[in-house]
Every structure is written in C-alpha cells, then in structure tokens.
Structure 1
Amino acid sequence: MSAKVLKHAVIYTGEEKIEDGYVRFTDKILNVGPASEYQAQAGDDVEILRDRVIVPGFIDVHAHGGYSYDAMDGDADQIAAMAQKMMTNEGVTTLFATTMTQSDHNIEHAMAGVKAAAAKNPVIQGIHLEGPFISPVFKGAQPEEYIKDPDTKLLAHWNELSGNMIKLITYAPEDNGAAAFEDYCLSHGIVPSVGHSNATRAQMMQSKATHVTHLYNAQREFKHREPGVTGHAMLENSMTGELICDGFHIVPDMIKLALELKGVDRIELVTDSMRAKGMPEGESELGGQKVFVKDKQARLADGTLAGSVLQYPDAFVNIMRFTGCSVADAVKMSSGNQAKEFNLTQKGYIIPGKDADMNLFDSAFKLQETYSFGQAHHAE
C-alpha cells in the first residue's frame, strides 16, 4: 500500500510540536518528525502544506445530534450519517453518540440503533448515556416524567443491547441505588459521570464518579457554604470535567477559572450538540420538546438552554481565545485527554501505530481538511 505524506506543516502530535514537520501514513500513522528527516520511499504521495497546522482528530464524548439527526431517533443509517457530517464538517474523528432521558423503549431503540450505526461508521466509538438516572432538581432540558433512580439491572440490559458500547454515563450519585450502579459501571468499563445532580460535597465524597458532565451546567452550584458538584469537581484531582465552550453555557471568565483550577490534563471539550447544529435558525426538537434556535443558542420555550449548536472547531478556538492557553493545551483537551480517559488506544495522537485521524487547519485555524483512518475529507 502506498503512503501519503504531508510535509512542511506545523504538527502537534499530542506529545510535541514540530515546527516544520512531516507525517507519513496509510490508515495508520507510519512516521512523523521534522521535514528534514523525511526519507522518500517508492510510491509515496507527497503533499506540501506550508502555512498549515495539523492536529489530532477531535474526540467528542458528548454530542446528541446535528445536521437534522439525533442519536435518540434510533435509525442506524441516520446516526451513521450524523457521525459522517460531524467528521467532515467539524473534524470529529471519534464520537460517543449521546442519548438523553426518555422512555425505556426509546432508549432501547437508541441502543440498538447506535450499535448498528457503529458497524457502518467506525467514527462512532461509544455511547454516552445521559440520564434517565438523574435529579429532577437539575433536569435542565431532560423531560422530568422519565427520570428515575439508578437501576443497575436496567443499565445492564441497555448495555447488552448496545453491544457493550456504553462508555460514559451521566447520573445523580445522591439517588438511591447509586453505589451498586457505580460498581457495575466500573466493572464494565463505563466511566461514571456526575451530572444533572443535586449532590452535596459530602455526598460526592462517597461517590465513585470520576467525570463531571458539562461542568457548571445542570448541577448543584459552587457556593461559599456548600461546594456542591461544581466545587467538588474543582477540588478533586481525580475528576475530569467537560466544558461547553460556546460562551453561552459558561462565560469565558469561568472557563478560564476552571482551566486554572483543574489544569489542562483534566478538562475535555464537548459540544453537547443537538439536531439543530448545522441547520438554519428556528424551531427544532430535543427529546420530544420544542427547541428554538437563535443567535447560536438553543433554548426551550421557557428559556432553558437545551444542548447546543456548537461546532467542535469553534470550541477548539474558543478555549484558546477565552483562556490564552496554547495550541498544544487545546489539543490535549480536544483529543489526548479523551483518548487516555476512555482507553481509546488508537486515538488522540499523531504518533506511529495510531489511526491516521488528523485535522488540517490554515494559519487562522479554519478547518480545511480531515483525515479519518487515512482517508481525506474536505469541510463543506
């Protein structure tokens, strides 16, 4: 098999920055290093990419939908098409299709649909089960009538239906049955994530959660007499926090605060996007609820933020703009941290042996092209 070579770009491998570099690959990364060290081999297809920046493909562990599609629809072809759109338009080369609080039947349908979609499109590497085991106090845009206490038997059933694709679960650890539920997660490779939760700091200290869903949003707030979920996440080095960097869910100063307190190794950028992403403004839908999209914000009729229409390259640029962090730091928060936390051993880095998942940006950080398993895709 002949190899593709991208040469003379600035390359962020996830481990180092190479100012004038090359990367040689098929479906896997074969070689990467300074351009001066490239040794031509027969059949190499060399492309010169001056004034380009190459970073690892993005990993979004929290995205419900986009481009008119939603994981809860349970349609394998549509979910596969959704993942393809996210990869082509946003550089998301690894996706955890995310569900939400709904009826048992609808969640079962989604589990089967995502499993079948993943067989069609390997960009889908897992499922993030968000709800229904959450607190009605911080339900956000999750429909309250389907909320229930943690149910280990039900989770095991859904995980079996999905082909054991559930990799992340959002739940309220203060609810009855949470301890056994957490034990099931930890023994089945599922990361337990506190979210949509009214837990106190004391309750969080008893929890086995190691991840926090959309830090700051839909959780007991950080207050001077009760740290709550947010304060616990900030204080504990074991906790990894998601950030929705659209400037609406969290104001830039609070994003900067989270990064300064947590550090670059414990933050992951997510979109929490819904089906309206990539679509014209106006009325949309989330979990059977009407959603109205205007000025890049998605809200329920009562004004509650309902997911987002954030595209991943905007999150990537925004974290640098809001906090002043480096490109290398943004790369960690968009790929490397996720690869490590979820044991995605072939993802997250541009180093030999990994899947050839890469994003090419121009010097102004506008996405130009995405490579997924070594195949080129141009942003629409």
Structure 2
Amino acid sequence: MNNQSAAASQALSAEVRNPSIVTEHGTGSGGIRNATIVTEHRTVPGGIVLWQDGRITYAGPHEGVPAGLRQAAGQALDGSGGLVIPGFIDMHVHGGCGHDFMDADPEGYKAIAAFHARHGTTGLLATTVTAAPEALLRVLEAAEARQRADRLAQTPTGAELYGVHLEGPFISPKWPGAQNPAFIAPPTAAWLEDWSQRFPGLIRMMTLAPEQPGALDVIAWLHANGIIAAAGHTDATYADIQTAAGRGLSHAVHTFNAMRGLHHREPGTVGAVLTDPRLCAEVIADGLHVSPPCIQLLTRLKTQHNLVLITDAISAAGLGDGDYSLGGLDVVVKDGAARLKKGGALAGSTLTMIEAFRFMVREIGLPAQDASALASGNPARRLGLYDSVGSVTEGKLADLLLLDAGLNLHQVWKRGQKLL
C-alpha cells in the first residue's frame, strides 16, 4: 500500500457516532424551505421539511405547515430550489479514506463513517471479506467496541453503524472474485451461533454460495435468527437458488458480479435473481461493474422494493489511484477502477453513494424519487429500519440530504444535526 498510509494520515479526524440500531438521543432542530421535498409517496416542489429533537415534524407544501410550526418554518434554511432526500444507507461497504473494516480498528471505523457521511451516507453495514474466523471475530469485537463507545456520544459526526455484513467465507472457489481463496471454508452454523450469542444483533447479513454442501442449513439458521441470507460469489444454478429461497435466502450481493450468469437454457444465479421477487438485488451503479443496459433491466424487473444501490467501496475510496490491499490481496487503482494486481479481477470499488445516486438519475434515467428509494428506502426496509429511517416522513429521524439542481451534495444532517 504505497500511497495509502500517507493519504490515510490526512483522513477525517472528527468524532463519529455509529451505534448499532438507530439510536434516539440527539436534539437537532431546524428545517429546509424552498426546496423540492422527496417524501415517501410524492415529490413536493417548493416545499418545506421541519424537524425537532432529531425527528421530522412536517414534510410537504409550505402552505400546509401547522400553526404551531410556522415560527420554525420562518427560520428554516433556504434550500434555493434544491432537492431534499433521505440519507443514503449502504449495505455493502468495506472501507474508505485509507481504512478497511478488516483492520478491526474502532478508530478506523470512525474515519470510514466520517468519509462516507461526507458523501451522503447516514447509515451503513461494516462489510468483511473472506478471512480466517479469528480475523472475522476481531471485526465483530471492534464493531461492538465502536458502538459501545459511540452510545456515549451526544453529537453524530458520521454514518451510523447498523451492524456487520459478513461477505464470506462460505463462498464458491469457482467465483472468488477479489476474495482470498485461501480462506474459503465449508458452510457451518457453528461460528455464527457462537458469534450471535457473544454479539447479539450485530450480524445483519451474510453472503454465501447456496450450492455449497451445508449451505442450505446455514441459510435456514440465518433466516430463523433474523439475519439476511445473501447469495454471492456463487456458482448456483437457477434450481439451486429457488431451493435456497425456499429455505430463507432473500438477497443477492453485487448482482451480475461474481456469480453464474444468465443462459437461455440455464438461467443460473442471475436468472433467478432477475425473476424471483423473493430476492432483493444489490447493484454497483458505476457503469464499470454492470453495464447501463443491464442496470436498466434490473430496474424494470425488480420493482417490489427489492433493488438497492451499494458502493462495495474499499479503503481506496477517496484517495485516488495507487496501490492498496483487500483481504491480504494486492490491489491497484487506476482511473478510479480497483483491480487485483494478479489476474485483474475487479476488487470492490471507489464509488460513493452520491455518485451511485447521480448515475441512476443521469445515466439510467430514473426520476430522483425512484433513485432515492434504491439508495435509502429499500435498504432501510431490508434492515427492518423503515419505521425510523429511509424516507422524508413525519415521525422519522431527520437523516436528510440537501442537493442542488445539478445533484451536487451541499449539506448532510444526521438526526437533525448538521454533518456537512
């Protein structure tokens, strides 16, 4: 990592608050007027959103502001005709700004959360790579320690850590992608049972190959314990995925990448993900991992709140081209694309959520309201947090973004308190 250490030394040093499940304390109050408000069910041009004690008290037309909130409305920030959307939620992110969640460093977690908050992410899952069980245990310990320390903080300054996404090690050796094949292991629930007892509620999602011997039992265990079972790095056939969905599989990571592709006589993993409404699909919307026509195909087929934007960002995000590492494998970033030095496989991304959101609007042609659902509402639903976050709705936490007409990010609020 020739340039990583130097760049990381310039990383954000602000305190970051990232508790486990949508914490309540915080007293942010304020508002934004003269902006297009993207609410849960409609878009309101020239609207206003108000919040008090960290929760939204009104979102809609200016003329509809209740009498008791009119004084607050008069003091609201002028949005200058911009766009107000809910904060992004990234379910699949490995790091950023020179830090990796696999480093198992709570201070590094703060820097990652601060970096991604500067690009609109207000909640995320700390994502691992395929590694030895003792390395994964250290990640869980560090995530719990970070959450425990952050619960004492009163002022949020970064994305909230909603939990951990274990990407591997129960994956297919045929589709390792940028995962280290030396650490691929046969599926077993034993580790998960131990970790779930030690860290209740911390593991939110696990990626595995459903066709591997023993995987179906692990999927059933994950489903029974409220953990999202996700297909990824898999050679599963269409029939394999259908069987796994019957046992509780409900998600597919970075769709099209590192999985058996679509064939007209064997639809494969991709065919099952495209056609089965029980499966939520992730997509890395950077135009590199998946072509725009295939992303358009996803948006046409996955219409039941079952498509989400992710970054799959690695430590190189925010640092520019150079040499890095992912899971012990050497990675080179050139022109923003991260690839393994050996073999050239794509190795995560340097994407941010605001860039993914813009890509969906500018290149794919989605309305901002629909792109917002993919980046905020749908991941909130997946994580069981939609009652509290994921849309600009009265009663929900004021996790908000203000964009200008060009979709440039201007301000970020977490629980009504300004981060950017």
Report the TM-score range of the alignment, normalised by the length of the smaller protein. over 0.9
Residue 34 of structure 1 is matched in structure 2 by 61
**2:82 matched to 1:71?**
no
CA displacement, residues 58-80 of structure 1 (integer Å, 9 cap, x when unaligned): 01000000001111111112112
What is the count of residue pairs matched by the alignment? 377
- 1:360/1:369 contact within 8 Å kept: yes
**2:376 matched to 1:335?**
yes
**2:362 matched to 1:325?**
no
Letter in 2 for 1:368: H
How big is the shift at 1:120? 4.1
Q: Residue 340 of structure 1: SS of its match in structure 2?
A: helix
Q: Residue 210 of structure 1: SS of its match in structure 2?
A: strand
- 1:214/1:243 contact within 8 Å kept: yes
**2:386 matched to 1:356?**
no
The two structures have a TM-score, normalised by structure 2, of: 0.87
Residue 108 of structure 1 is matched in structure 2 by 137
Identical residues among aligned pairs (%): 33
How big is the shift at 1:2? 8.0
Q: For residues 267 and 139 of structure 2, what CA distance do their matches in structure 1 show?
A: 35
* TM-aligned CA distance change 1:2 to 1:86, over 3 Å: closer
Residue 56 of structure 1 is matched in structure 2 by 86
Residue 345 of structure 2 is matched in structure 1 by 304
RMSD, aligned α-carbons: 1.5
- 1:115/1:163 contact within 8 Å kept: no
How big is the shift at 1:41? 4.9
- 2:206/2:229 contact within 8 Å kept: yes
Alignment match of 2:319 (pick from 279, 282, 286)? 279
Q: For residues 181 and 94 of structure 2, what CA distance do their matches in structure 1 show?
A: 18
How big is the shift at 1:48? 1.6
Aligned pairs for 1:68-147 (under 5 A) are 68-87=98-117, 89-121=118-150, 123-147=160-184
Q: For residues 270 and 346 of structure 2, what CA distance do their matches in structure 1 show?
A: 18
Which ranges of structure 1 fall in alignment gaps of 5 or more residues? Answer: none
Q: For residues 179 and 13 of structure 1, what CA distance do their matches in structure 2 show?
A: 39
**2:216 matched to 1:185?**
no
* TM-aligned CA distance change 1:161 to 1:69, over 3 Å: farther
**2:414 matched to 1:372?**
yes
Q: For residues 269 and 225 of structure 1, what CA distance do their matches in structure 2 show?
A: 29
Q: For residues 319 and 364 of structure 1, what CA distance do their matches in structure 2 show?
A: 14
How big is the shift at 1:3? 3.3
Q: Residue 315 of structure 1: SS of its match in structure 2?
A: helix
Aligned pairs for 1:156-235 (under 5 A) are 156-207=193-244, 208-235=248-275
Q: For residues 202 and 95 of structure 2, what CA distance do their matches in structure 1 show?
A: 17
- 1:240/1:268 contact within 8 Å kept: yes
- 2:29/2:416 contact within 8 Å kept: no
Which ranges of structure 2 fall in alignment gaps of 5 or more residues? Answer: 1-26, 151-158
Aligned structure 1 segments of 4 or more residues deviating by more than 3 angstroms: 39-45, 119-122, 160-163
Q: Residue 234 of structure 1: SS of its match in structure 2?
A: helix
Residue 11 of structure 2 is matched in structure 1 by none
